[in-house]
Amino acid sequence: MEKPIFTKEMKKDYTILAPNMLPVHFKLISRIFRAYGYKTELLSTTGKEISDTGLKYVHNDTCYPALLVIGQLISALQSGKYDIHRTALLITQTGGGCRASNYISLLRKALDKADLGFVPVISLNFAGTEKSPGFKITPMMFIKLVSAVLYGDLLMTLKNQTQPYEKEPGSTIALVDFWAEKLVNDMQSPKFFSRKNTLRNYKTIIENFANLDRYDTKKMRVGIVGEIYVKFAPLGNNNLEDFLLSENCEVVMSGLLDFCMYCVYNMLADRTYYGDGSKFKSRIIRAVFKYLLNRQKDIINSIKTYSDFTAPSDFRHVISLTDGYISTATKMGEGWLLTAEMLELIDSGVNNIICAQPFGCLPNHICGRGMMKLIKDKHPDVNLVAIDYDPGATKVNQENRIKLMLSIGREQMVS
């Protein structure tokens, strides 16, 4: 069967369903799509039926994130909530060697198996992997999407450093929700995306979080690294962040922007290592990378200027941390970034680290669990644990392993 294409005509009356990984980030991104005429809807469904649906239509050797994403999309189509003949699906493609680039093929096979092969699938990518005539990312739209990622990262960073210490339970989440809604509404103004307005918003957001009543206590900081979906998505990691909060911990994670810059940097690495691409393409990619670095610098400087919160590390510093550990040519999946994120946490004083590993993710096991011995050899005090996430793993077993890691961390805090 010839794969259906999302056409320009479909843009008018088709609903586009997308899986949700980062609620705040994706809410902002979805609103940008809507402003350009795309009727996007983020899926927030949870429960065992998601993985069961994925297992029904995808081979059980496929990596866990693919099972969840595909299961969530097909479950939505079968729910009766949508007109399946006026619905399209949106899925990201990194364009790299990871199976994430092949999710779209797995999804189409699953749709055929579910007698839904007529549903068009849109690839959201910046590598030219697949094209849909009715869905295009313009340069201005790209800038707005970057803005959404930056705001999402800022809110996530401030939330993680505020919520464990809040005196009024729920005040942090209420402030996150307030700003997420305000930003979504303010996006309608053409001036919203100007750098001047962005810096003004950063200042106000940071000061709002800094003014929340907080306890002046010291809690154990626990870093989370891993495959991008399982690292961020509560559906993929069994609400890992909430569990760590219940264990009286402060969660530390790098933002989505780091992964975006990792993908762009890898395009530059292809040029360096393999001579891949034209000089013109290389200049464009280098300009994009510089643009992202500058936008990250705005956030770092704003946090340092207006608060005592810990700012993210400059991505160039993150790259430098790989020296003596792993080559930046190791770029399948999260590749060298996964190792670098562990080293970044250690460099910033976070010695308790959870590596979230999905079943079937070979790059994650090599660059995550596979690098732990070398990291421990050079940093004897670090407390690392790799947690596997798959349909057969029980939440109780996962949490018990994390509790053991936390008990070791608490002993180290006391000694």
Confidence of residue 271 (pLDDT cuts 50, 70, 90): confident
Radius of gyration of the chain from Cα atoms? Answer: 21
Give residue-wise pLDDT tens across range 117-169. Answer: 999 999 887 666 677 889 988 888 989 999 999 999 999 999 999 999 999 99
Domains annotated for the chain, with CATH where assigned, are 10-136 (3.40.50), 218-254+313-414 (3.40.50.11900)
The H or E element that residue 88 is part of is strand 87-92
Report pLDDT for 258: 96
Report pLDDT for 396: 92
Rounded distance between C-alpha atoms, residue 181 and residue 28, angstroms: 9
- % of the chain exceeding 70 in pLDDT: 96
Give residue-wise pLDDT tens across range 219-241. Answer: 999 999 999 999 999 999 999 99
**Closest Cα to residue 385, out of 367, 412, 406, 360?**
406
- CA angle 73-78-81, nearest 5°? 95
Give residue-wise pLDDT tens across range 13-59. Answer: 999 999 999 989 999 999 999 989 999 999 988 888 999 999 999 88
Rounded distance between C-alpha atoms, residue 192 and residue 186, angstroms: 6
pTM of the complete model beyond 0.75? yes
Is 287 a residue whose pLDDT tops 80?
yes
- CA angle 213-219-225, nearest 5°? 110
- Do residues 220 and 248 lie in contact, with contact meaning Cβ atoms separated by under 8 Å? yes
Tokens 């739209």 locate to 141
DSSP symbol at 62? S
Confidence of residue 365 (pLDDT cuts 50, 70, 90): confident
The stretch 72-89 carries a mean pLDDT of: 96
β-strand partners of 224? 354
- CA angle 251-253-256, nearest 5°? 140
